[in-house]
Amino acid sequence: MRKPRKTGRKQRIRALLDRVQILASAPEGRAPSPVEGFTVTRDSFVRRQTTTSTYARCRHYNSLTNDSKIYWQYNRQKGWLRPWKITMVADDKTGLSRDEIERVLRHCRSYQLLTVEIAIDFSPPIGVSKQFIRRHAAFGKSRRRAD
């Protein structure tokens, strides 16, 4: 991830990676590995939230340097699921760094990005207020268009 250019002015708009979800392949039955810069805080059973059970276990990691977290689901319950589903949640101040993401991806045989969320922060002089957002913003899932 590139660092913002220093222009001598305060940054007015800041975009950071806020959350990334990854589906990954791994050797069958393999539990998640230790991740450099993170510590395992919990490894627990996953409660089923729908009629279809997905993963049986989730390993929780906390960063040693900031407030980033990793939720690494494994022990799939259906054969059509990828062996691992990994959710990385950023520290609100720094966002997710490329280095943090690469430290996770090096444990994956192959992977697919499922979700990438970006947080956009506006400084007060820009004039983007709650009222502006409510009036002009459109939220939802983006889809690739043919045109």
Q: What is the pLDDT of residues 89-106, one digit of tens each?
A: 999 889 999 999 999 999
**Is the residue at 52 inside a domain?**
yes
**Is the residue at 78 inside a domain?**
yes
**Is the residue at 146 inside a domain?**
no
| Confidence (pLDDT) at 130 | 80
Provide the number of structural domains found in the chain. 1
What does DSSP assign to residue 58?
Answer: E
**Is the residue at 6 inside a domain?**
no
**Is the residue at 141 inside a domain?**
no
The answer to whether residue 55 scores a pLDDT higher than 70 is: yes
**Is the residue at 145 inside a domain?**
no
- CA–CA dist 45, 131 (Å, integer): 42
Cβ contact 25:108 at 8 Å = yes
State the burial class of residue 47 (Cβ atoms within 10 Å of its Cβ: 0-12, 13-18, 19+).
Answer: exposed
From start to end of the chain, where are the E strands? Answer: 13-24, 38-45, 55-63, 69-76, 84-89, 111-122
Structure tokens at 35: 């991740």
Average pLDDT over residues 56-72: 96
The answer to whether residue 20 scores a pLDDT higher than 80 is: yes
**Is the residue at 3 inside a domain?**
no
**Is the residue at 85 inside a domain?**
yes
Residue span of the structural domain in which 51 resides: 13-136
- Please, what is the average pLDDT of the chain? 86
